[in-house]
């Protein structure tokens, strides 16, 4: 029986997790935005925990510039940039109905579960 080892996976080593992640229906980790600790027996990954920086997008437009197309233009440009940098996923908090419409326009789906949130601290 092989001894279990724990290995930090960085950059290109993260691709070792791709078969597992794809089998779960998830998006592979972006090596520029992620790292993982893997439990390995012999040559086989038997568990892992990853930290992946998934972009959270905020949108704000000054009150006197609302009602035009500035929010749409900013959103379109942000979406283009996220594709350029191969961001695996993106999250936003729709703080008003207009942002909800923009999110839906760009194919985002409303997540109700099992998302958890924690802000800083212990």
Same domain for 42 and 9?
yes
Same domain for 37 and 76?
no
Number of separate domains in the chain? 2
Same domain for 101 and 61?
yes
The range of the structural domain enclosing residue 40 comes to 4-52
pLDDT in tens, the chain (122 residues): 679 999 999 999 999 999 999 998 888 888 888 999 999 999 899 999 999 887 778 888 889 998 889 999 999 999 999 888 877 788 888 888 888 999 999 999 998 878 777 777 66
Same domain for 80 and 95?
yes
Rounded CA-CA distance 27/23 in Å is: 10
Directed axis angle between helix 70-84 and helix 97-105, to 10°? 40
DSSP 8-state secondary structure symbol assigned to residue 10: E
Rounded CA-CA distance 25/53 in Å is: 18
Residue 57 near residue 89, CB atoms below 8 Å: no
**pTM recorded for the entire structure:** 0.61
Q: Does any domain span residue 120?
A: no
Q: What pLDDT, on the 0 to 100 scale, is given for residue 122?
A: 65
């Amino acid at each position: 029986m092989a001894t279990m080892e724990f290995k930090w996976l960085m950059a290109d080593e993260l691709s070792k997790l791709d078969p597992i992640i794809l089998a779960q229906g998830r998006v592979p980790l972006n090596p520029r935005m992620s790292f993982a600790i893997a439990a390995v027996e012999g040559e086989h990954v038997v568990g892992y925990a990853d930290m992946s920086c998934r972009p959270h997008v905020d949108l704000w437009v000054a009150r006197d510039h609302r009602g035009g197309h500035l929010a749409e233009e900013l959103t379109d440009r942000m979406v283009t940039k996220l594709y350029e940098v191969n961001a695996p996923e993106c999250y936003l908090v729709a703080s008003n109905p207009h942002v909800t419409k923009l999110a839906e326009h760009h194919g985002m789906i409303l997540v109700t579960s099992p998302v958890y949130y924690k802000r800083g601290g212990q």
